[in-house]
Structure 1
């Protein structure tokens, strides 16, 4: 197995796929996440594992397209106006964090006895956070659009903007030491080209991309649209790379310019399969790049450098976050998530070695340090979320449930509760409302709702909320287990109260019915019936007939539900009930919508 695989390429693809589908599900199953699974898979099949691949650099070069496509998809979700609103975070917060980290990490290197060139280059490389790892974690937790996620995105964008000046500094420093190439007039072009590329990208993105996709859509070919989407992503990435800028930033900006396009969703769907596969390949390539021989030969340096640099960078990120007003928990999350070095460090270290600022051995040591920090980040993030307790929210301005009474007790005041309570309040019912979400309580108080703080799954809170005197207890919490627990408590301690429950789905509905509640309704069932009734009316069905169909569906669903209860499983009566729905002739003959002025042909 140590021999190099054949040169046909297909066997290499099979090896990568086998490694990925073996390790990623395993690591997700044990709670370590997909990123670490890809990294370990790459390490196993790479040149320092089973040696099924000898050139990790070539794989990494191809896999960088995964990061490019990922950033393009992120850009599609961020409209230009929204990006402009983040300019203070990009150039303010981003600059503050980057320069603080560079200063602290450079000082760490100098204190440890290394030269200024080595310390500064190592700091500049390590301060560049891994865009792929951070975005992947934010995407998995659906935090990209949240304010904390947007701040991290802003910092990463500023890091991408620093690529050109950092490479220019390395080139100038190399020239002063007699290494590298002459800068001369190329230094001017090194600034002009990136600016020209950015201006060109803006012009193309605003005025040409939409007409381009509109013309191609006339071909009505999915393959053509997919090819066009790939052309836009790879073309902008190539243009940015040739101008000296980041490929990922070019793809991100292309996505931003297409965010307002009517073809945005189609493009995103076309890119998604390539993005997922190539991003996974990127993580595997990073795992392959971990040179275990270098780590073993310089074990003390690499381990000490990884721990020290990650700790110093995390401390700086945390300090900057706190100074700029972020709460404690959010600051810790940002610090741990951004504590590692990034893929751009490989380019910077290579340029430094080419310019004789560092030796080839030092380059390998720094590269191993960055790669190991990327490997350790998923573990650090997982450990953080397991150890970090949720912050207790302030109860200032929120009144706890105590000594309350009323005819109706409502538990849970989310979207569902806010709607049905309006009916009760309109008829002047004596309603007491409790909820355990402080944010909801504070939010609805601005609209005149009086909601008390209390956990309805606790018996003492139910007593304090007036459950003992309530004629009706309405349970509208959005957690099935909590709802079931409340039902059990009410049935046991307050048997005279009527229980009405909002259920999650059919399975939950059967559970609460068997518990003996007086009424239950699935949270989306009636709204879906009303929506379907409106669809029928739009198709030309009369109001009376549409209402009759809606009632028939309600009756059929109720019959099916009774059969399921009797049989004790969700499949009971499925064929019978669904068969009854599909037997009648269509109520409305489907109509083909014709463009204005078109003539509809007669049926043959």
Structure 2
């Protein structure tokens, strides 16, 4: 019994340790944590070090990571936002699934599969890995971009598609009266389950969480959040639907709740851990024996399915108005099978549509495609040229003259411009963000499109004639480059620069700019003054406090210039506990009670 417990503990430590080592290494190498988890799973699985002998059990448990991931996505998808994506979900998503499904089915038939088996193999591969793609989008910060939102919309449609596809598998099985009755019963159960989840989300969950939050027990809220996610997933699974879609639906229904952020914080640690475990389980499930025995077939299947699917994705993307770069990048991102393929293939094998060898080959094909996807995405990012901005209707600077040249019309530059314009100065403004320029035009501003780090652009913008060159961009390296160009080419222009932080301000002072200002200094001081007044301090005393902080900051800045960034740290007001001087016990007694201290000394002497 003890030996069994020790072995199980060894397995747990091995799984966690492999993930902890592999994921950061692969991410640091620019390959992404997903590939790291897959490699770690392969290393400790039955075809590696054999630490884990039954990856199916791990995969079944780790699917909860995908469930929780979709719940978190649902929390971000308010119904109104989801409705705004309906064209991408049911238009772009449906078109991609249909087109790729048709192409891959044809490929399967040409490869010699039965038409029914070819269709199931194709549709399983069409359903890309939601977990892998969302993880990649999250790591690169692309989830909230328009292209990222289109990718999420396609994934939602693919997740929805698993439901009718499972029904198709049942219909393709040998038809009997019992099967038909079972199909109608399954449909009724599915509709009933969705109705229960919607009703609970609308009328039950918010009052429940309000009641639990009043108890002020964090562990109860965490348990309740897990119960909602896992309970909804279980209900959907029992009714024949996707666990992941059930969790997503629960998240959407709770997206408008006042407890949304609390729920997300409670779920996040479990979601991240289980999602990593899911990818490791996928890596463990790669049947190397089948791959080695059938390697020509597997290799052709991986290359053929990924290439054909990628072509279908790119064509659909272009037809729906995506740029060439976005179309190719989406093809690299989606040209894989996903976790729902295992569900579909398992169902097909259970009813006899797949024989064991086809099931093993297609499952291996899906896993290898998931392994190759991070590499394909990295290659696409590095090889594809940067997307050119849409400059339609924008004017470039040419032969301009003005007393002030303002570079960068973001939040900082917009406020700075008001001081110059209020005094009637002739201000030339350039920016390299087309959307910002178009937005500013609606407010009556004339902004020229140009990159301030380009010397020719500065000449065309009139820097040689300007009295002041105001650099208001928020990019530290770009600001330094503009300063270097201006110091050499336009020595007569006053150089006023927005500093990114204190370290950047010191750099600018060393470059002998005429004036620098940390971008948050004055706003933070004003915020602090108003906060003190809000807390009841008289206005005069609050102003004196801020003036003292300003004086100390100037003193500290002078010390930093001569002796380094931390030279003036002693001038900061700190909340760190200050060490008290050591006091002997008899001194402490005398300090608190002189008579008791004297009595203690007499007793000690006696």
Fold conserved (TM > 0.5)?
Answer: yes
Aligned equivalents of 1:330, 1:412: Cα separation in 2 = 27
The answer to whether residue 504 in structure 2 is matched with residue 505 in structure 1 is: no
The answer to whether residue 476 in structure 2 is matched with residue 484 in structure 1 is: no
Per-residue displacement from partner, 1:351-400 (whole Å, max 9, x unpaired)?
A: 11111112101100000000110110000001000001112223222221
Task: Report how far residue 266 of structure 1 moved.
Answer: 1.2
Task: Report how far residue 547 of structure 1 moved.
Answer: 2.1
Q: Where does residue 514 of structure 1 map in the other structure?
A: 510
TM alignment of 1:268-307, pairs within 5 A:
268-307=264-303
Q: Is the 8 A contact 2:470 2:497 kept in 1?
A: yes
Moved over 3 A (4+): 4-8, 579-583
Q: Where does residue 261 of structure 2 map in the other structure?
A: 265
Per-residue displacement from partner, 1:196-232 (whole Å, max 9, x unpaired)?
A: 1111101101111110100001111111111111111
Query: Paired residue for 1:224, among 202, 215, 220?
Result: 220
Q: Is the 8 A contact 1:414 1:477 kept in 2?
A: yes
Task: Report how far residue 130 of structure 1 moved.
Answer: 0.6
Aligned equivalents of 1:120, 1:338: Cα separation in 2 = 19
Q: Where does residue 571 of structure 1 map in the other structure?
A: 566
Per-residue displacement from partner, 1:409-464 (whole Å, max 9, x unpaired)?
A: 11111111111102211211111111222222222122211111222112222222
Matched residue of 1:90: which SS? Answer: helix
Q: Where does residue 249 of structure 2 map in the other structure?
A: 253
Mark the runs of 5 or more structure 2 residues left unpaired by the alignment: 579-606
Aligned equivalents of 2:519, 2:35: Cα separation in 1 = 38
Q: Is the 8 A contact 1:47 1:54 kept in 2?
A: yes
Task: Report how far residue 580 of structure 1 moved.
Answer: 11
Q: Is the 8 A contact 1:129 1:339 kept in 2?
A: yes
TM alignment of 1:112-511, pairs within 5 A:
112-176=111-175, 182-511=178-507
TM alignment of 1:41-60, pairs within 5 A:
41-60=40-59
Q: Is the 8 A contact 2:58 2:281 kept in 1?
A: yes
Aligned equivalents of 1:19, 1:580: Cα separation in 2 = 40
Flag the structure with larger Rg.
2
Aligned equivalents of 2:576, 2:355: Cα separation in 1 = 76
Matched residue of 1:433: which SS? Answer: strand
Q: Is the 8 A contact 2:147 2:326 kept in 1?
A: yes
User: Compared with structure 1, are the counterparts of its residues 50 and 305 closer, same or farther at alpha carbon in structure 2 (3 Å cutoff)?
Assistant: same
More moved, 498-507 vs 394-403: 394-403
Q: Is the 8 A contact 1:161 1:245 kept in 2?
A: no
Aligned equivalents of 2:574, 2:383: Cα separation in 1 = 52
Matched residue of 2:400: which SS? Answer: coil
Query: Paired residue for 1:545, among 523, 528, 541?
Result: 541
Matched residue of 2:274: which SS? Answer: helix
Aligned equivalents of 2:6, 2:59: Cα separation in 1 = 18
Q: Where does residue 76 of structure 2 map in the other structure?
A: 77
Matched residue of 1:184: which SS? Answer: helix
Mark the runs of 5 or more structure 1 residues left unpaired by the alignment: 584-604
Root-mean-square deviation (CA, aligned residues, Å) is: 1.9
Task: Report how far residue 5 of structure 1 moved.
Answer: 8.3
Matched residue of 1:521: which SS? Answer: strand
Q: Is the 8 A contact 2:552 2:571 kept in 1?
A: no
Q: Is the 8 A contact 1:5 1:11 kept in 2?
A: no
Matched residue of 2:19: which SS? Answer: helix
Q: Where does residue 596 of structure 1 map in the other structure?
A: none
Higher share of residues assigned helix: 2
Matched residue of 1:321: which SS? Answer: helix
Task: Report how far residue 60 of structure 1 moved.
Answer: 0.7
Q: Is the 8 A contact 1:60 1:285 kept in 2?
A: yes
Task: Report how far residue 124 of structure 1 moved.
Answer: 1.3
The answer to whether residue 535 in structure 2 is matched with residue 535 in structure 1 is: no
Task: Report how far residue 110 of structure 1 moved.
Answer: 1.2
Task: Report how far residue 545 of structure 1 moved.
Answer: 2.1
Q: Is the 8 A contact 1:401 1:464 kept in 2?
A: yes
Aligned equivalents of 1:128, 1:577: Cα separation in 2 = 56
Q: Where does residue 597 of structure 2 map in the other structure?
A: none
Task: Report how far residue 182 of structure 1 moved.
Answer: 4.2
Aligned equivalents of 1:210, 1:230: Cα separation in 2 = 15
Matched residue of 2:180: which SS? Answer: coil
Q: Where does residue 588 of structure 2 map in the other structure?
A: none
More moved, 30-39 vs 448-457: 448-457
Task: Report how far residue 6 of structure 1 moved.
Answer: 6.0
Q: Is the 8 A contact 1:23 1:37 kept in 2?
A: yes
Task: Report how far residue 91 of structure 1 moved.
Answer: 2.1
